[in-house]
């Protein structure tokens, strides 16, 4: 039996971790097929052509979906990523596959020079990585993967091995990246936040002199339409920031770009709650981590919440004003804190209203939430994070809606995400109005989160964080694929 068949075999042939069994040609079956096609043997690439290496938050989202069909593979996905962690605790945003030609992706390993430029920060010597990070979804993913098959997880010592690495990752963000002094983590490059060319970055990036166009070659344009991708000017500034960070040996705090982002910090808080649960599973109390998550939630509200606008805004830490200043751009990032279980009721209600307002149109003019304000001057329905809808943010908001009791809205968003994933061939992102596919198709996190929505929708258990957890005594989920 080939590997795809092993992952999609019906219940009569083996014990499975999902219900109902997949039907060939079904959405479930095709989502699994995408993940199988993007599997390298130790991790999953986001897309074979456009993104041929391992990406940090992509792997976390991929593991969340993989847990439903192969808890072992989901554990391996996270373990492979954590094997590339730096000594200072950072988890790099790319782990490079040495078998991929250097010109297949830019910036390539010879640009980042992690093993030399990152030596003082403890970069690994046996694997090449980038030097920046991505949103900290990893502890949340690890907890959910454990819950998919606790028996397998305990037998392999999965949480015992990943917990200290995840704790070091959070320490890095909370101590090395509190560049604004208010308790929140700052990103030092737009790629770190994950929403690369969001209009939120336009003002802080305007201070950055772009690298000359002739100094780099954009491999991304070989696989995607130029009108769907960041502009050359944006890219020149990305390259300049990354070059300066590298040449400064990846020391934090000296760069021209530092932004406190609501989505990045909300995911850190959700993962801090997850770390508390992992600690409890390992015999500790988890009390200190829950308390830290609550302090971070308070800081998020104090520094980034705008009650008049009903959403969270980024803060430019490098602004000339003491303490920085808000960036007045409405991005989907400002809605993601809805994921947090202890968000005050009035704030959660305001975020829900904003999501359905004319600025985002969720459930009114758009079926999936756009990445940027529909009424904003910079809105573009096809250009990457300047308007298109993405499936990972849809998943986060669907979980957030469930967490705060908005079941009907969550059901509608879930149904829309599943339908558009199906009709777009698991696209990287889509036009928020039409659902037209943009970017790559057969995209891993779209397929993985499709699997998760198929198995954590109406009628399934939902944890206080809005994420399904499995009953440890549920025999229907304990026999996942072990090979």
List Cβ neighbours of 365 (8 Å cut-off, separation of 6 or more). 358, 374, 433
- DSSP assigned state of 187: E
Q: Among the options 58, 149, 196, 329, which is catalytic?
A: 196
Beta-carbon contacts of residue 258 (< 8 Å; ≥ 6 apart):
179, 180, 186, 187, 188, 204, 316, 317, 318
56-66 and 391-403 are packed helices; what angle lies between their axes, rounded to 10 degrees?
60
Q: Residues 334, 312: contact at Cβ < 8 Å? A: yes
Residue 42, burial from CB neighbour count under 10 angstroms (0-12, 13-18, 19+): middle
Q: Could you say which of 244, 428, 431, 481 is catalytic?
A: 428
Pull the structure tokens for residue 176: 């090395």
Other CB atoms closer than 10 Å to residue 343's CB: what's the count? 23
The whole-angstrom distance between residue 125's C-alpha and the CA centroid of its chain comes to 26
Compute the distance between CA of residue 73 and CA of residue 82 in angstroms, rounded to an integer. Answer: 14
Q: Where are the beta strands (DSSP E) in 38-136?
A: 54-55, 94-95
Q: What gap in Å lies between CA 229 and CA 250, rounded to an integer?
A: 27
CA 472, CA 477: separation in Å to the nearest integer? Answer: 9
List the one residue out of 298, 301, 273, 303 whose CA is nearest residue 288. Answer: 273
Q: How far apart are CA 271 and CA 5, in angstroms?
A: 33
Active site residue 428: yes
Distances (CA, A) of 275 to 113, 124, 168, 297, 340: 32, 24, 11, 15, 14
Choose among 64, 65, 38: nearest CA to 53: 38
DSSP state string for 249-265: TT-TT-SS--EE-HHHH
Q: What is the 8-class DSSP label of residue 182?
A: S
Written as six digits, the tokens of 289 are 């981590």
Residue 54: strand pairing partners = 95
Token pair 């052509």 is found at 49
Tell me, letter by letter, the H, E, C secondary structure of 116-144: HHCHHHCCCCCCCECCCCCCCCHHHHHHH
What are the backbone dihedrals phi and psi of residue 326, each rounded to the nearest 5 degrees, phi first? -65, 150
Q: What is the dihedral of CA 335, 179, 175, 130, to 10 degrees?
A: 80
Give residue 426's region: left, alpha or beta (phi > 0; psi -120 to 50): left
- 196 catalytic? Reply is yes
Catalytic residues: 196, 428
């Amino acid at each position: 039996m080939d590997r795809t068949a092993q992952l999609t075999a019906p219940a009569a042939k083996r014990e499975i971790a999902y219900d109902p069994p997949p039907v060939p040609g079904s959405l479930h079956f095709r989502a699994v097929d995408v993940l199988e096609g993007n599997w390298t043997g130790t991790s999953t690439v986001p897309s074979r052509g456009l993104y041929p290496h391992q990406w940090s938050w992509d792997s976390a989202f991929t593991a969340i979906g993989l847990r439903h069909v192969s808890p072992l593979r989901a554990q391996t996905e996270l373990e492979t990523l954590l094997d590339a962690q730096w000594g200072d605790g950072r988890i790099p945003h790319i782990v490079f596959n040495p078998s991929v030609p250097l010109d297949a992706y830019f910036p390539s390993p010879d640009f980042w020079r992690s093993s030399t430029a990152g030596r003082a920060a403890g970069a690994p010597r046996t694997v090449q990585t980038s030097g920046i990070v991505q949103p900290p979804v990893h502890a949340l993913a690890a907890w959910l993967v454990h819950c998919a098959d606790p028996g397998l997880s305990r037998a392999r010592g999965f949480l015992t091995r990943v917990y200290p690495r995840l704790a070091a990752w959070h320490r890095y963000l909370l101590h090395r990246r509190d560049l604004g002094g208010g308790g929140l983590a700052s990103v030092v490059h737009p790629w770190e936040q994950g929403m690369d060319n969001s209009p939120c970055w336009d003002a802080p990036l305007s201070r950055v002199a772009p690298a000359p166009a002739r100094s780099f070659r954009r491999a991304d344009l070989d696989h995607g339409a130029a009108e769907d991708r960041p502009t050359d000017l944006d890219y020149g500034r990305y390259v300049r920031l990354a070059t300066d960070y590298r040449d400064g040996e990846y020391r934090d705090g000296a760069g021209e770009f530092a932004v406190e982002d609501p989505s990045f910090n909300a995911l850190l808080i959700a993962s801090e709650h997850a770390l508390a649960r992992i600690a409890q599973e390992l015999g500790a109390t988890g009390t200190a981590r829950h308390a830290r998550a609550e302090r971070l939630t308070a800081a998020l509200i104090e520094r980034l919440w705008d009650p008049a606008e009903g959403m969270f805004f980024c803060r430019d830490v490098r602004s000339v004003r003491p303490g920085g200043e808000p960036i007045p751009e409405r991005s989907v990032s400002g809605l993601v804190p809805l994921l947090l279980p202890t968000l005050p009721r009035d704030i959660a209600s305001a975020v829900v209203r904003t999501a359905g307002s004319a600025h985002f149109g969720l459930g009114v003019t758009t079926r999936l939430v756009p990445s940027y304000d529909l009424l904003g001057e910079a809105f573009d329905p096809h250009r990457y994070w300047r308007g298109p809808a993405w499936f990972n943010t849809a998943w986060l908001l669907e979980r957030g809606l469930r967490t705060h009791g908005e079941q009907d809205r969550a059901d509608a968003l879930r149904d829309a995400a599943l339908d558009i994933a199906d009709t777009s061939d698991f696209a990287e992102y889509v036009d928020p109005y039409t659902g037209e596919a943009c970017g790559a198709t057969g995209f891993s996190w779209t397929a993985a989160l499709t699997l998760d929505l198929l198995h954590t929708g109406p009628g399934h258990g939902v944890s206080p964080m809005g994420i399904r957890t499995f009953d440890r005594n549920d025999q229907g989920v304990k026999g996942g694929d072990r090979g």
